[in-house]
Amino acid sequence: MRASRAHAMSGVVRVPGDKSISHRALMFGGMATGSLKITGLLEAEDVLNTAAAMRAFGAQIDRQDDGSWRVAGCGVGGLSEPTAPLDFGNAGTGTRLIMGVIAGHDMTVKLIGDASLSRRPMGRVLGPLKSMGLEVLEGDRDTLPLTIRGSASLVPIEYKLPVPSAQVKSAILIAGLMARGETTVLEAEATRDHTERMLRYLGADVQTEKRDGLTAITVTGDAELVGRDIIVPGDPSSAAFLVAAAVIVPGSDVTVEGVLINKTRSGLYTTLQEMGADVVFLNDRDEGGERIADIRARSSVLRGVVVPPERAPSMIDEYAVLAVVAAFADGETRMQGLAELKVKESDRLAATADGLAANGVTARVDGNDLIVTGAATVTGGGLVATHLDHRIAMAFLTLGLATEAPVTVDDAGIIATSFKEFGSLMGSLGATFEPAKGLSS
Ligand code: S3P
């Protein structure tokens, strides 16, 4: 796929539902007693793989004619052993959270995924879950394919996260629902808190308190979840590309309605404002237990900034597109503390720096920092390797909207894992994307 320079991006749009919340809604719905309706579920490959997995465990999951989804759960600890391996495709969140689900059931499950997922570290989740009672069969591997065996008598643990990861935190808390007693996760940096919020909303006892400068999140075991309807807000990580396009393409004015602005997810927007971007939250409101707003973004004169490491968890999925915006800022943007970017769908730190360099942008990796030097004009014209990473594909198609020559990405098909409407939504705002000869579009 190839993106060419756009004249101006303008319009009012909505983005599909948040991916993190969608995975959790299906999993927790499948573990609840009774049924619930999910409105605004993200219907992308990653989430559909989670739906298929929950069906394989015995939950009843159906899409309704009005686009909502109905989930009839089996109760906490009430799922059955699937008869075939579970294929999670490209989805790290689906895989890691489901390990927490499996941990509390007396069942053996084989987990598989695509080449990207099969390279990603699973030891970070398996370690704590093993200390609760999960077993890893067929050798002590820590990458997919993996066969794991859960236990109906899990031991509660107290665990300090060695890396700031909501996936690890969530897997442990989910397993904790089925353990005997209280399971506590301690985190030094706040990571996205959708698991805590949704579990509380469905009736679990989840407490959060400060302890010695850390946040302690405690879930009480032998829990019950009750079916209550869930509304999924627009995904801020998808809105990020539309907002970035508006900021870098001259003459633009774009509003994205109904976007999640939970503080554990809004770091990109704070950073854009610090860079001088004309990005504002309008109609800030509560919906379904989450904070949402309409985000208005207009083309802006930007300056380079230092993005501190402690902000990384709140914008971990947004660095590739921030780096694209930084290419148009005056001066240097230094994004600090990005070690976790190396273990995303690709080594996203390297993929971002390489993609920028291929398009004439001065960018370098310094340890765990990414440094981008902006310029008034960016040549573009490069071919970007996406490495099965949807966010690399979308970030560089966004770059091509403001470069002198078109930017080509080698695999736009991977975008369907999270945001299949990306091309049509960008097109409705004024973007031109064309298939590039010989490449997956
Ligand atoms: C997610 C957590 C983050 C994020 C991912 C979704 C979640 O991963 O990158 O896209 O839904 O919990 P880590 O927990 O590995 O940081």
CB 397 within 8 A of CB 412: yes
Cα–Cα distance measured from residue 417 to residue 278, given in angstroms and rounded to the nearest whole number: 30
Distance, in Å, from the CA atom of 390 to the CA atom of 412, rounded to the nearest integer, reads 8
Q: Which domains does the chain have, with CATH numbers?
A: 2-16+233-434 (3.65.10.10), 19-231 (3.65.10.10)
Q: Share the mean pLDDT of the chain.
A: 97
How many other CB atoms sit within 10 Å of the CB of residue 404?
12
d(CA 362, CA 382): 14
127 sits in which H/E element: helix 123-132
Does 438 have pLDDT greater than 90?
Answer: no
Give pLDDT tens digits for 261-284: 999 999 999 999 999 999 999 999
317 C-beta closer than 6 A to ligand 1: yes
Looking at residues 91-102, what average pLDDT do you find?
99
The alpha carbon of 20 and the centre of ligand 1 are apart by a number of angstroms equal to: 7
Nearest CA to ligand 1 atom 11: 20
Structure tokens at 420: 């299949």
Please name the residue whose Cα sits nearest to atom 5 of ligand 1.
93
| Per-residue pLDDT tens digits for 67-89 | 999 999 999 999 999 999 999 99
Give the span between the Cα atoms of 370 and 364, in whole angstroms: 6
Atom of ligand 1 nearest to the CA of 163: 16
Report the distance separating Cα 260 and Cα 282, nearest Å.
Answer: 12
User: Which atom from ligand 1 is nearest to the alpha carbon of 165?
Assistant: 14
Residue nearest to atom 15 of ligand 1 (CA): 165
Half-sphere exposure of 69 (CA within 13 A, CB side): 27
Residue among 167, 338, 341 whose CB has most ligand 1 atoms within 8 A, to mutate = 167
Q: For residue 167, report the distance from its CA to the centre of ligand 1, in Å.
A: 5
Q: Is the pLDDT of residue 60 over 90?
A: yes
The pLDDT of residue 440 is above 90:
no
Structure tokens at 8: 């101006």
The strands making up 158-160's β-sheet, listed across from edge to edge, are: 158-160, 182-187, 214-220, 206-211
Residue identifier of the C-alpha nearest atom 16 of ligand 1:
165
Which sign, positive or negative, has the C-alpha torsion 213, 214, 220, 225? positive
Residue type, 103: A
Tokens of 116: 């990207």
Is omega for the bond preceding 435 within 30 degrees of 0, making it cis?
no
For a ligand 1 pocket test, name from 24, 122, 192, 340 the mutation site with the most ligand atoms within 8 angstroms of its C-beta.
192
Measured N-to-C along each axis, helices 166-176 and 194-201 cross at an angle, to the nearest 10 degrees, of 30
CB of residue 165 inside a 6 A radius of ligand 1: yes
Question: Residue range 242-267: average pLDDT?
Answer: 98
Residue 139 has pLDDT above 90, yes or no: no
State residue 380 phi and psi, 5-degree precision. 70, -150
User: 326 CB under 6 A from ligand 1?
Assistant: no
- C-alpha to C-alpha distance for 244 and 277, rounded to whole angstroms: 9
B/e letters for 418-433, b = 16+ CB within 10 Å, e = fewer, are bbbbbbebbeebbbeb
| In the predicted structure, residue 326 carries a pLDDT above the cut 70 | yes
> Rounded to an integer, what distance in angstroms lies between the CA atom of residue 150 and that of residue 145?
16
Give the integer Cα–Cα distance in Å for 373 and 375. Answer: 7
Nearest CA to ligand 1 atom 10: 317
CA of 390 from ligand 1 middle (Å) equals 14
d(CA 172, CA 123): 13
Q: Is the pLDDT of residue 102 over 90?
A: yes
Please list the active-site residues: 317
Q: Dihedral angle at the C-alpha atoms of 24, 108, 417, 341, nearest 10 degrees?
A: 80
Q: Which atom of ligand 1 lies closest to the CA of 167?
A: 14
* Residue 439, pLDDT above cutoff 90: no
Ligand 1 contacts CB of residue 20 (under 6 A): yes
